[in-house]
Amino acid sequence: MSQPCLVPAPARLTLDEGSPFLLASDVALVMTTDAAGVADAAAELRRLIAARTGIRLAAPTPANGQEPHLRLSLEHDGPAESYRLSSDAGAVHVAGADAAGLFYGVQTLVQAITTDASGWRIAAMEIEDTPRFAYRGVMLDVARHFLDVATVCGYIDRAAGLKFNALHLHLTDDQGWRIQMHSRPRLTEKSATSSVGADGGGFYTHEDYRAIVAYAGRHHMIVVPEIDGPSHTHAISLAYPELCAPPVVSAQLRRQSEEDGSALPLGGVAYEGIGVGFSSLRIRDEATYTFLADVLTELAALTPGPYLHIGGDEALGTDAEDYDRYIARVSRLVAETGKTAIAWHEAGVCGGLAEGTIGQYWGFVSPTDGMDEKTRGFVRRGGRVILSPADAIYLDMKFDPDSPLGLTWARGVTSARRSYEWEPTAVIDGIDQAQILGVEAPLWSETVRTSADIDALAFPRIAAAAEAAWSPALGALPLRTWESFRARVGGLGPLWRSLGIRFTALSEIDWTPAEPITVQGDNT
């Protein structure tokens, strides 16, 4: 009996000896209620089955005894986002504890579809599944290169299919400001036109941003917007030069400029290189905090999710005392909007950090330079931690030394195996599972310009991050091993191709060949 290729690995999977469920155009799609969450899940299931198999199921019907049928319900009494899936020759039933759980059960069902001489089929099995961590995120950097609404929504589709539930948008950096602020219109007039390599800029209007938030919501994802500071703020100097200190040009920055041929940063002039740490807001000027209060209040009003990200990383040009002052003020500004602040791990040692601030760790799987102690600071102040170890799940790292995409600063090329073989609870001593809010896989855009670039860098390694975020601990299940993962991900190749995901077929993975798709039925 072959193992279904399910990613992330479910908490409990039992295969039965019975005959499989055969999927065809005459299969009924049954909803036990017309609640919005069930109807949305039914629409998603029809869309995915059509893409995967060419079969176009008829519109869903109320519950009845007709067989064969696919049944969707909210009849599971498990925790939030959990689901139960059962299948035999007569029916497949997906029951969610809530709308999100049902949506995730639908993703699992579609992954379980295989084909042989008898046609499209779903093995007889029972699944009980629940997420390990509450926060399962992906990050897109839209500041180094702007990515339009359609590209962002396409990434939401892909991430939601792997049970991620948060999209972190890195909206501001040295190279550009990407969100319209009615309170500060010069930001999009003057700070949004540049990017790495002079590739052009762009920004999201309020309507664009609301469209992204709404699309994410329909896929059971929150949006976490980031306004980085006090460094990564050079773009602000184009619109409000009085708020920014002069760039601090280090020897490292000069070397970076020589390597990539970019000009050194100059206040008030667009920066198109990839150097970091040279910019800083004027920490002791009250005008800075008036500006930030305007921006954070407006952004909070646009964002229904609970978090605002304040950055805090790589402030190499900022005095340590000033850095502490900045983080204390800005984390409290976020609290005043009714949101919870998230900050990169450097902020964890700031004495004035607002209680409950979430820390995001971006160091290596084995911490260096006291990064672990900084991260523990968030827990001491009543917060929790999001893990984003750069040498495992930074998706912008090269997957091959010859790839034109990606960087290598996080311990060189990051293989799929290295992306997979790490355990969240083993990264920071003294931080246990209860103190970990979740896992997030960032994708920085120094070399990313298109949705195809995103696919090539993210897939298949994004699946490793998904499994770290959703599934039980590494080694806790027979499925939670590298050998199992490389086979299961390889089995998703046909599904990913049918969904238009332009993944990189890494040689580490046992890829299943593409399958011909024949459209069956004409129901819409």
Number of other residues whose CB lies within 10 A of the CB of residue 307: 24
How confident is the model at residue 383, as a pLDDT? 98
For residues 436 and 35, the model is more confident at 436
pLDDT interval class at 197 (50, 70, 90): very high
How confident is the model at residue 514, as a pLDDT? 62
* 457 has a pLDDT exceeding 60: yes
The fraction of the chain above a pLDDT of 90, given in percent, is 93
* 518 has a pLDDT exceeding 70: no
CA distances from 283 to 38, 299, 349, 434, 444 (A): 50, 21, 18, 35, 26
How confident is the model at residue 77, as a pLDDT? 95
Q: What's the rounded mean pLDDT across residues 32-49?
A: 92
Q: CB under 8 Å to 255, separation ≥6 — which residues? A: none
Rounded mean pLDDT of the chain? Answer: 95
With b for 16 or more beta-carbon neighbours within 10 A and e for fewer, the 485-518 pattern comes to: bbbbbbbbbbbbbbbebebbebebbebbeebebe
Q: Which residue has the tokens 């299919």?
A: 161
Does residue 243 sit in helix, strand or coil? Answer: helix
Find, among 159, 150, 316, 144, the residue nearest to 224 by Cα: 159
Over residues 167-179, the pLDDT tens digits come to 999 999 999 999 9
pLDDT interval class at 522 (50, 70, 90): very low
Within the chain, what is the greatest distance between any pair of CA atoms? 73
Q: CB under 8 Å to 225, separation ≥6 — which residues? A: 169, 171, 179, 299, 303, 308, 309
Return phi, psi of residue 454, to 5°.
Answer: -60, -50
How confident is the model at residue 523, as a pLDDT? 32
pTM of the model: 0.96
Find, among 420, 448, 459, the residue nearest to 162 by Cα: 459
Supply the DSSP symbol for 507: T
Question: In this structure, what token pair is assigned to residue 424?
Answer: 């969240």
* 396 has a pLDDT exceeding 80: yes
- Read off the amino acid at residue 72: L
First-last CA distance in the chain: 34
d(CA 140, CA 462): 13
d(CA 475, CA 244): 49
Q: Which residue has the tokens 């042989």?
A: 116
For residues 517 and 94, the model is more confident at 94
Cβ atoms of 345 and 374 within 8 Å: the answer is yes
Q: Which of 126, 314, 373, 421 is catalytic?
A: 314
Q: What is the 3-state secondary structure (H, E, C) of 181-230?
A: CCCCCHHHHHCCCCCHHHCCCCCECHHHHHHHHHHHHHCCCEEEEEEEEC
Q: CB under 8 Å to 334, separation ≥6 — which residues? A: 296, 300, 308, 310, 340, 341, 354
Question: In this structure, what token pair is assigned to residue 30?
Answer: 């049954």
From edge to edge, which strands make up the β-sheet containing 28-31? 12-15, 125-129, 83-87, 91-96, 69-73, 28-31, 61-62
Q: CB under 8 Å to 72, separation ≥6 — which residues? A: 29, 30, 31, 32, 38, 41, 42, 45, 60, 94, 95, 96, 102, 106
How confident is the model at residue 1, as a pLDDT? 56
Return phi, psi of residue 437, to 5°.
Answer: -70, -40
How confident is the model at residue 92, as a pLDDT? 97
**Which H or E run contains 150?**
helix 149-160
Cβ atoms of 21 and 91 within 8 Å: the answer is yes
Q: What's the rounded mean pLDDT across residues 498-506?
A: 97
Q: What's the rounded mean pLDDT across residues 32-57?
A: 93
Find, among 101, 100, 102, 160, the residue nearest to 136 by Cα: 160
How confident is the model at residue 337, as a pLDDT? 98
How confident is the model at residue 128, as a pLDDT? 98
Cβ atoms of 297 and 214 within 8 Å: the answer is no
Q: Is 314 a catalytic residue?
A: yes
**Which H or E run contains 311?**
strand 307-311
How confident is the model at residue 517, as a pLDDT? 41
Question: In this structure, what token pair is assigned to residue 413?
Answer: 């090329």
d(CA 307, CA 300): 8
Between 299-313, 354-368, 509-523, the lowest mean confidence (pLDDT) is in 509-523
d(CA 95, CA 76): 5
CA distances from 95 to 56, 75, 82, 367 (A): 22, 5, 9, 41
How confident is the model at residue 33, as a pLDDT? 79
Task: Please state whether 268 falls in left (phi above 0), alpha (psi between -120 and 50) or beta.
Answer: left
- Evaluate the CA torsion angle 234, 238, 243, 249 in order and state its sign: positive
pLDDT interval class at 67 (50, 70, 90): confident
* 520 has a pLDDT exceeding 90: no
How confident is the model at residue 524, as a pLDDT? 30
* 394 has a pLDDT exceeding 70: yes
